[in-house]
Amino acid sequence: MRNTRRTLVAAIAAIGTLTSVAACGGGDSDSSASGSGGAGGTYAFWDPYPQFDASSDWSKLVGKCGTDAGVKIKRTAMDTTDLGNKALLAAQQGNAPDVMLVDNPVVSTLVEAGIVNKTSDLGLDTTSIQQNILGAGTIDGASYGVPIGANTLALYYNKKVLSAAGVDPAAIKDWTSLTAALKKVKSAGKKGITFSAIGTEEGSFQFLPWFWGAGADLTALDSAKGVAALSLWKGWVDDGLAPKDVLQNTQTTSWQEFATGDYAFGENGTWQLGNAAKAGFEYGIINVPAQSGGSAAVPTGGEFVTVPVQKDTARYDVSKKIVTCLTSGANLLSTDTTLAYVAPTAAVQAEQVKADPALKPWVDAVAAARGRTSGGLGTKYPTISQPLWTAVQAALSGGQSPQAALAAAQKAAGKAGG
């Protein structure tokens, strides 16, 4: 096990850069870690859902899965960053929780620290999980957790704004047609598109569909393809097709702008579906277009259920039962509705769309999504993402050209080992 103090300190630093980018985060309950072992004992369960108190359906499900496994669950909820950091410290102290939900980019950091088990070692079945969703928690060909659901990004659009500008959303197939639509909207007296380009992980998360949609790769930030993506965003801001405040926008404040009804498009995620229903205007959803057509790859958000390493390995049998219960088809269907997630299996996705046809574009978007740490990046991702969002900020503010900003980002990522 590689959870030396040096490794843990490095891992904590990495987690610090990976702030939550979805609507779900943080906890309630107390913060003690592990409970007594054996059947009938208490098992510690940590999750990043502080918005769900003990009376919530989520908390009740966690408790029921414990009861079904013959134990009592002691649930602790906290925000995503705190959870990752406390997990690393708890492992160092030898009192890690028995089961833990973590944001998917954090999985590779915990694996690097040597504190979570392989699903294969536990006998957990992941064969029904979509491979691109599972990929966010797969390191060197081995998976280290089971996804409880996925969210991602797409473009919400205001039907009234587009209609008034004479824009057919079905005709938007690539960057050229999207930019033409934004210009029509501006000429009609409305606003174009809003998104988050803030200098945090949220900014990188929102930029990745355009970066990947140009065919760019995170190992070569300053490629011509990467420059094309950043130039697209800069052109929108410079031409007044996107507001200058995207530099400060979080995904929440970007949504608030779209919800005013003045914007044609808003880049946002599944977690805004509830707010969209209350917006007071008709909306639709299209996938983020790739530069030359088709759907761009979008980053997956969502959590993985993991089983941290324990000194008492006899505890794993019960932990496995808890994970299996939480990720069963029936429970995924109910919890993913609560969490505004797309299920990680095709069978449950079909049930979700049957119950709510409006989810179909999101299921399609998740099918085209990829993990931020996939492709062998693992713990290198934070050392790439931070220079990337810094480059976006520099270019959109006018401090550097897209080429110069991304060249600086590539140099910084290289020095950091990305």
Instruction: Please report whether residue 308 resides in a domain.
Output: yes
DSSP, residue by residue, 19-73: ---SS-----S--------STTSEEEEEES-TTS-TTSHHHHHHHHHHHHTTSEE
30 pLDDT band (50/70/90 cuts)? very low
User: At which residue do the structure tokens 């031409």 appear?
Assistant: 239
The pLDDT, as a whole number, for residue 31 is 38
What tokens appear for 270 in the block? Answer: 């599944």
Residue at 271 is within a domain: yes
Angle at CA 26, nearest 5°, toward 328 and 276?
Answer: 75
Give yes or no for a contact between 261 and 280, defined as CB atoms under 8 angstroms apart. yes
Residue 356 shares a structural domain with residue 386: no
pLDDT tens figures, 146-186: 999 999 999 999 999 999 999 999 999 999 999 999 999 99
292 with 318, same domain: the answer is no
Question: Which residues are 154's β-sheet partners?
Answer: 268
Q: Which of the listed residues 327, 342, 367 is the one where a domain comes to its end?
A: 367
Give the length of the chain: 418
Residues 137 and 31 in one domain: yes
Q: Are 96 and 45 in contact (CB under 8 A)?
A: no
175 and 259, same domain (yes or no): yes
Give the pLDDT confidence of 88-115 residue by residue, as tens digits: 898 888 899 999 999 888 898 899 889 9
Measured in whole angstroms, how far is the alpha carbon of residue 80 from the centre of its chain?
11
Residues 12 and 75 in one domain: yes
Count of domains for the chain: 2
Whole-number percent of the chain with pLDDT over 70: 90
- CATH at residue 214: 3.40.190.10
Domain boundary among 332, 347, 367: 367
For residues 185 and 304, give the distance between their C-alpha atoms in angstroms, rounded to a whole number. Answer: 40
- Check whether residue 138 and residue 35 sit in a common domain: yes
Q: In the predicted model, is pLDDT for residue 24 greater than 70?
A: no
Amino acid at 282: E
Rounded Cα distance between 17 and 106, Å, is 10
Asked if residue 194 is part of any domain, the answer here is: yes
Does residue 338 sit in the same domain as residue 226?
no
Q: What is the pLDDT of residues 196-231, one digit of tens each?
A: 999 998 999 999 999 999 999 999 999 999 999 999
**Tell me: the pLDDT tens digits for 345-365?**
999 999 999 998 988 989 988
Contacts of 90 (CB under 8 A, 6+ apart): 33, 34, 96, 97, 308
Please check whether residue 327 lies inside any domain of the structure.
yes
Residue 218 DSSP symbol: T
Name the residue type at position 27.
G
Answer whether residue 372 is part of any domain: no
N-terminal to C-terminal alpha carbon distance within the chain:
24
Provide the pLDDT confidence category of residue 39 given band limits of 50, 70 and 90. low
pLDDT in tens, 269-309: 998 988 999 999 999 999 999 999 999 999 998 999 999 99
Is 115 a member of any domain? yes
Task: Looking at the structure, tell me whether residues 141 and 257 fall in a common domain.
Answer: no
Q: Domain check: are 29 and 85 in the same one?
A: yes
Strands across the sheet containing 263-269? 191-194, 263-269, 153-158, 283-286
Please give the residue range of the domain that contains residue 317.
5-150+302-367
Give the residue carrying structure tokens 């931020």: 372
Q: Are residues 241 and 382 in the same domain?
A: yes
Residues 195, 278 within the same domain: yes
How many Cα atoms within 13 Å fall on the side-chain side of residue 147?
Answer: 30
Q: Are residues 390 and 288 in the same domain?
A: yes
Q: Which amino acid is at 174?
A: D
